[in-house]
Structure 1
Amino acid sequence: MVGLVFSGRSAALFAVLAGIGLALSTGKQQPRSGAELWSARGGVAMRALVIAAVGLALGGLEVNVAVILVHYAVLFLCILPFLGLRLKALCFWAGGWIVLSPVLAYLVRPELLDANPPLQLGHNPGWEDLGTPARLLADLFFTGYYPAFQWISYLLVGLVIGRLALTTAKVQLMLLTFGIVVASIAKIVGTVAMEVWGGRAALSVLPGTRGYPLESMLQVNLTGLQQVDSWWWLATASPHAGTTLDLLHTSGVAAAVVGFFLVLGRLAERIRVNFLVVLSGPGAMTLSLYSAHVWVVSGFTNQPLPAGWTAEGMYWAQALCAISIGICFAVLRRRGPLEWVAHLASRLGSYRPAAVG
């Protein structure tokens, strides 16, 4: 049940929030321009390099977690040209990218997979993969777990949301309701296409799907399938499908979640109880906590759990530790260790010498 609820949606929310953060740090409703914009781009680029370095280091660990950080860093670099756009232009780009990028990816992916050897890593990107740049880039953009080419959509959606007047109740409720509507329609259309219009039947006879429990994968995760040889792949809204319907569904969920917590934050302000520190504390140091989580999990990968421990126990222990650490840093008004490094890099990248009069 947990997998059905979070698969595809949590990672997409992570990326949408990145876009919102970039919008808030580059002018909110009035995007920066001129020298200020170039300074902001430099800061974002330097932050991306830090995130990529952390991701490549984690890629060297033996762990059954699909580490997103290198892809995350690539998305930061790809979004740089869009940081100066206003809301109307961003809406146009976001809509176009959601519609067209899955089609282009579908056309390009077979060529990359048919190469000898296939341009696909099959593992988390690590430092050693820098020695095969074509394979690394193909995996990051098209053939890997988080195809950045389609995932640019999430950062564009995040930029759109971040350029709105997020402190107003009208916008908060709009995000909540509009997100629910879009997510619901996309999922319904995808399910009907697969189960009623014959999509699943057409896909199940393809050579690449034989031996896979296709019905289950359509519900939980399509990453293990190459999604080639049939246009029906573009008609599903399944998790990690990278299709237009999947992007719409997960973006809608992300918008609804953002709207919900903005409404919840408004309620917290009214009753003067900061109960959201339980979430905002860990949320302010996600890079450090995520990296620590991957490192901890790597210590138990392919190893028996300690006596008396269960997988559920491990999950709750890590969740409680993350919340506790986040609250402590929030109370002390300190950045997480990796957030401090990323912040320093951002400041260095955005530094502009004072003009000499």
Structure 2
Amino acid sequence: MTETVALAPAEPTPSAPARTRIYGIDLARSLALMGMIAAHFAVADSFVFNKPETWGALAHGRSSILFATLAGVSLAIMSGRTERLSGQALVDARLRILVRALVIFAIGSLLIALNSGIAVILQMYAVLFIVALPFLAARRRTLVIAAAIMAVVGPLIVAVLESLPFFKTTVSFPAAEIFISGTYPLFSWVSFILIGLAVGRTNLASLKNVLIIGAIGIGMMTAGYATVPLFSQATPEAVDIEEETYSSSEYEDIEDTEDTTETYDTPNPADLQPGEFFVNGEPTTALDLEGLDCYDETYEGNRNIGCSSITVSEDETFDDGTGTPDFWATFNNHLSEFGTADPHSGTPNEIVGSGGVALLVIALCILLCRRIHIIFWPLLAMGSMSLSVYALHVITFRLVERTSLFTFESFAWDLWLGTIILAIIMATIFRLTTKKGPLEMLVNWIVKRTTTARD
């Protein structure tokens, strides 16, 4: 006689957390992307509420910080979520993340090679992944403490390194650009991925936890932004450096009250020779620029051209007599810039204040998606493939900046909105067909082929 036995489904083990997608994180990623895109089409440096043309400035710095904080959340999701891995599982997770970081770094390098004028964040994003590897097994308390310490110590490390005499000779190397002097200096940005990792280790299905994260974000915003006047008074005064800017008045007999912009014809870029650029309306080869530091830089779509020399008053010790800047005078100058929370300043105030903005946005996005995530579906699709969307933006930005569409004097709402619509269309198509974006599929394919990764 055959006995029939009913088999109960196996219960999941505690070490195998559910893979339910956190829609609020996708929504936060999409907002970070929209903010970074807005920053690239903004021309104003400061936000003024009653002037819509300045609204793009609100995204400067904060959107990329949100993106970096979400990188920490992603790390937690890829390494056990609320469960800290150990043993071979931890080793495997670190290897998968390392390979992923190397691929993202390579993609970032290709986007930088396009010379779009955008400060591409992907290389720093990848380096932050690698730096965070030792912290994958850390407790949340350890992560929060480390993030708090680096919020203060990180900017000081950057200031010290930039003050070293040999810095001027090493800054041209890519490593110096990534770790020290770039738009996203590593030592100042470590805090964001650590605090994001701590958020990802939290049970985000708990309403209480999400509210606490939001409250912490508000507290950090208050501490970071409201104390700027206090710290600006406490910072040392800068060394008395007088900047002499190259001026066409040396070549034109112009009254001080006259507008110098009308003393020469409009420069014609077609007249320039290879390697030339205009300085106050004159080609560089037509001027004596000996002893001057000339630059031709493009940042976030804005071209900045000029020549200048820096002289120091005789009672200062900016030069140690060997032709190199004095360390302490230079370090003092860097400290004098700490009393601000301006975007990309990398100061403790910016790290704490903008880090608080990131936590608040993440908390609000999770709250919004707890019950009604379906209404945000197009944005969720965009946030689920942020790497592909970011690359698409850099490529289209590079194409558009060479056209007449790129001429704007206020926030380019049309270009920004057009980019967002294009990104949503692409993300929707891939989400409905392949579930992942093209670059996400590429990264996952490489990770699977080189590690023991599983879906």
TM-score interval, normalised by the smaller of the two chains: 0.7 to 0.9
SS in 2 for 1:234: coil
Cα distance, 1:228–1:304 mapped onto 2, change above 3 Å: farther
Cα distance, 1:325–1:191 mapped onto 2, change above 3 Å: farther
Distance apart, 1:98 and its partner CA:
1.5
Q: What's 1:124 paired with?
A: none
CA-to-aligned-CA distance 1:110-143 (integer Å, 9 cap, x gap)? 22xx43753334xxxxxxxxxxxxx111110011
Q: Which runs of 5+ in 1 are unaligned?
A: 122-134, 212-219
- Whether 1:119 and 2:157 are equivalent positions in the alignment is no
CA-to-aligned-CA distance 1:247-293 (integer Å, 9 cap, x gap)? 1111111100000011101131xxxx611212210001111111111
> Out of 369, 372, 381, which is 1:281 matched to?
381
> Out of 143, 147, 153, which is 1:90 matched to?
143
CA-to-aligned-CA distance 1:160-196 (integer Å, 9 cap, x gap)? 11111111100111112220221122111114433xx
- Whether 1:20 and 2:73 are equivalent positions in the alignment is yes
TM-score by length of 1: 0.81
Q: What's 1:291 paired with?
A: 391
- Whether 1:110 and 2:210 are equivalent positions in the alignment is no
Cα distance, 1:65–1:241 mapped onto 2, change above 3 Å: same
Cα distance, 1:265–1:339 mapped onto 2, change above 3 Å: same
Q: What's 1:138 paired with?
A: 176
Cα distance, 1:30–1:298 mapped onto 2, change above 3 Å: same
- Whether 1:343 and 2:394 are equivalent positions in the alignment is no
Q: Which runs of 5+ in 2 are unaligned?
A: 1-53, 247-299, 305-329
CA distance in 2, matches of 1:337, 1:317: 21
Cα distance, 1:276–1:157 mapped onto 2, change above 3 Å: same
Select between 82-91 and 327-336 the one with higher mean Cα deviation: 327-336
Q: What's 1:38 paired with?
A: 91
Distance apart, 1:210 and its partner CA:
8.8
CA distance in 1, matches of 2:77, 2:406: 44
Task: Give yes or no for contact 1:236–1:246 (8 Å, CA) kept in 2.
Answer: yes
- Whether 1:317 and 2:418 are equivalent positions in the alignment is yes
Cα distance, 1:33–1:158 mapped onto 2, change above 3 Å: same
- Whether 1:327 and 2:428 are equivalent positions in the alignment is yes
Cα distance, 1:230–1:58 mapped onto 2, change above 3 Å: closer
Q: What's 1:182 paired with?
A: 220
SS in 1 for 2:171: coil
Q: What's 2:368 paired with?
A: 264
TM-score by length of 2: 0.64
CA-to-aligned-CA distance 1:195-234 (integer Å, 9 cap, x gap)? xx276x94595457999xxxxxxxx9xxx9x986242222
Task: Give yes or no for contact 2:143–2:194 (8 Å, CA) kept in 1.
Answer: yes
Q: What's 1:52 paired with?
A: 105
CA distance in 1, matches of 2:243, 2:446: 44
CA distance in 1, matches of 2:417, 2:208: 36
Q: What's 2:199 paired with?
A: 161
Select between 296-305 and 53-62 the one with higher mean Cα deviation: 296-305
Task: Give yes or no for contact 1:23–1:159 (8 Å, CA) kept in 2.
Answer: yes
CA distance in 2, matches of 1:242, 1:324: 35
> Out of 349, 374, 380, which is 1:245 matched to?
349
Cα distance, 1:106–1:230 mapped onto 2, change above 3 Å: closer
Task: Give yes or no for contact 2:225–2:353 (8 Å, CA) kept in 1.
Answer: yes
Cα distance, 1:206–1:198 mapped onto 2, change above 3 Å: farther
- Which protein has the larger Cα radius of gyration, Structure 1 or Structure 2? 2
SS in 1 for 2:98: helix
Task: Give yes or no for contact 1:204–1:210 (8 Å, CA) kept in 2.
Answer: no
Distance apart, 1:21 and its partner CA:
0.8
CA distance in 1, matches of 2:59, 2:142: 31
Distance apart, 1:76 and its partner CA:
1.1
Matched to 1:332, the amino acid is T
SS in 2 for 1:24: helix
The number of equivalent residue pairs is 318
CA distance in 2, matches of 1:144, 1:306: 25
More strand by share: 2
CA distance in 1, matches of 2:245, 2:199: 41
CA-to-aligned-CA distance 1:7-40 (integer Å, 9 cap, x gap)? 1100000000010011122111221111111100
> Out of 342, 358, 361, which is 1:254 matched to?
358
Matched to 1:232, the amino acid is S
Select between 135-144 and 1-10 the one with higher mean Cα deviation: 1-10
More helix by share: 1
Distance apart, 1:349 and its partner CA:
4.4
Matched to 1:36, the amino acid is A
Task: Give yes or no for contact 1:43–1:345 (8 Å, CA) kept in 2.
Answer: no
Matched to 1:279, the amino acid is L
Q: What's 1:300 paired with?
A: 400
Cα distance, 1:162–1:262 mapped onto 2, change above 3 Å: same
Give the CA RMSD over aligned residues. 2.9
Matched to 2:430, the amino acid is F
CA distance in 1, matches of 2:398, 2:116: 5
Distance apart, 1:316 and its partner CA:
1.1
Instruction: Give % identity.
Output: 29
Cα distance, 1:317–1:36 mapped onto 2, change above 3 Å: same
CA distance in 1, matches of 2:211, 2:365: 10
